[in-house]
Chain A
């Protein structure tokens, strides 16, 4: 019963996010601030993780194929498929649920605890539109983050594969081009948009409706990570079934 109430409150929140809009000039500034805090500030960790995970994927693939019948370009092929289809869109989003999601929940939760949200309401401002809508718009740029992750993941694989002596540059690049299906990129970006919406709204929902003090802000951040990750995994399964099966 509690889960039903939670799901209900999430959808009620979504309805309010898109109603009673904030003044346009203020909204523009809020969106730019959210782009800076959510997108630009995430690039460092995305670049670091993508590059090294791409490298590890290439090394692991190379180490696990001893059969001479398997072509050399498989290292590049496996790296591309792993990074483009799953690592960059899905697993990077789960990492972002920890980084971005915790930040969103704790900042909105702290505003709840210190009555800043009540202050907005008393002033006649729709706090959900003011706080959550700019995050949703800012995260429309999230696919660019994932595109960077894809590029750097593959680059990391190439560097590790070639300079680690696991593959030649020509074989790796041939693998990247082998059986390339452009729809896979579209599929990856479709799910990235869905994950971006989840990343903006679920942590906001957890922060906005939390009750209690500082301890509860911490608990809400943990719950936010769990709910966001679960929803990303579930929606990943559904989108994959619908688009690729």
Chain B
């Protein structure tokens, strides 16, 4: 579980996060949504400890990240898995080497054991016969699967995903969303996903927070988001023609 209390973050004079408080629960897929420039990425980077917040707390289990010393932060980071928007796979390494990387850095397992674990997670993300390929030789969807495999290979307690299905076709995007949700439940981890994809919201939004100009404007789940009266949220949700038409049809039917 991750608890965020009154988080503030500024760059120069500009305040990006204006006092966000929320809870990300274990075993659930928690989504951060909002328009571009709403502070989603900054918030995610604060959660990861890549940005230092000026005020407020981010509490992992029982300890705030701001109160941790370097060793504790290092330990915490080894319990985190991150799926970056572009995958962030190491170009010079094969798929197998990419996935094995966290194990080589932090575990004391023998090479055979590491290889076994790598094959296990690659099978879990439905990626077989790609071990010896380089990231440039596989598709965007496969790169995302490798990134997910790398993020979970060390059995993390927290999984963060920055727009995991951007640049993917709708079918592959749904597969990736479902995979993340299955892994979250199977490994009982706290997953936080930064997205502006409404399909993800509908499919896997067990908890959704909506950011608007650095404020937490709304929170709920995927069933509540379509019924809310919050105008900012409805403007965001129904910004696409497809969703507008669905709403119009539903209104007609009602």
Using a CB-CB cutoff of 8 Å, which residues 95-152 of chain A contact chain B? 110-111, 114-116, 118-119, 121-125
Asked if B50 is an interface residue, CB under 8 A from chain A, the answer is yes
In the assembled complex, the CB of A114 is this many whole angstroms from the nearest CB of chain B, namely 6
Task: Tell me which of A116, A118, A125 contacts B50 (CB under 8 A).
Answer: A118
Asked if A181 is an interface residue, CB under 8 A from chain B, the answer is no
Q: How far is the CA of A230 from the CA of B106 in the complex (A)?
A: 40
Contact assessment for B90 and A116 in the assembled complex, using a CB-CB cutoff below 8 Å:
yes
Q: How far is the CA of A26 from the CA of B106 in the complex (A)?
A: 11
Q: How far is the CA of A114 from the CA of B88 in the complex (A)?
A: 6
In the assembled complex, the CB of B68 is this many whole angstroms from the nearest CB of chain A, namely 12
Contact assessment for B74 and A118 in the assembled complex, using a CB-CB cutoff below 8 Å:
no
In the complex, chain B residues whose CB is within 8 Å of the CB of A23:
104-106
Q: Mark B80-95, 1 if CB is under 8 A from A, else 0.
A: 1010111011110000
- Size class of B's contact patch? 20 to 34
In the complex, chain A residues whose CB is within 8 Å of the CB of B82:
119, 122-123
In the complex, chain A residues whose CB is within 8 Å of the CB of B48:
122
Q: How far is the CA of A118 from the CA of B86 in the complex (A)?
A: 12
Q: How far is the CA of A116 from the CA of B135 in the complex (A)?
A: 12
In the complex, chain B residues whose CB is within 8 Å of the CB of A125:
105
Q: How far is the CA of A125 from the CA of B216 in the complex (A)?
A: 32
Contact assessment for B105 and A118 in the assembled complex, using a CB-CB cutoff below 8 Å:
no
Asked if B222 is an interface residue, CB under 8 A from chain A, the answer is no
The closest CB in chain A to the CB of B104 belongs to: A26
In the complex, chain B residues whose CB is within 8 Å of the CB of A123:
77-78, 80, 82, 101-102, 105-106
In the complex, chain A residues whose CB is within 8 Å of the CB of B105:
22-23, 26, 123, 125
Q: Mark B102-136, 1 if CB is under 8 A from A, else 0.
A: 10111000000000000000000000000000000
Contact assessment for A114 and B104 in the assembled complex, using a CB-CB cutoff below 8 Å:
no
In the complex, chain B residues whose CB is within 8 Å of the CB of A119:
82, 84, 88, 90
Q: How far is the CA of A177 from the CA of B70 in the complex (A)?
A: 58
In the complex, chain B residues whose CB is within 8 Å of the CB of A22:
105
17 A-B pairs with C-beta separation under 8 A: A23-B104, A110-B91, A111-B90, A115-B84, A116-B88, A116-B89, A118-B84, A119-B84, A121-B77, A122-B50, A122-B82, A122-B160, A123-B77, A123-B82, A123-B106, A124-B75, A124-B76
Residues of B within 8 A of A (CB): 48, 50, 70, 73-78, 80, 82, 84-86, 88-91, 101-102, 104-106, 160
**What 3 pairs across the A-B complex have the smallest Cβ distances?**
A124-B77, A115-B88, A119-B88
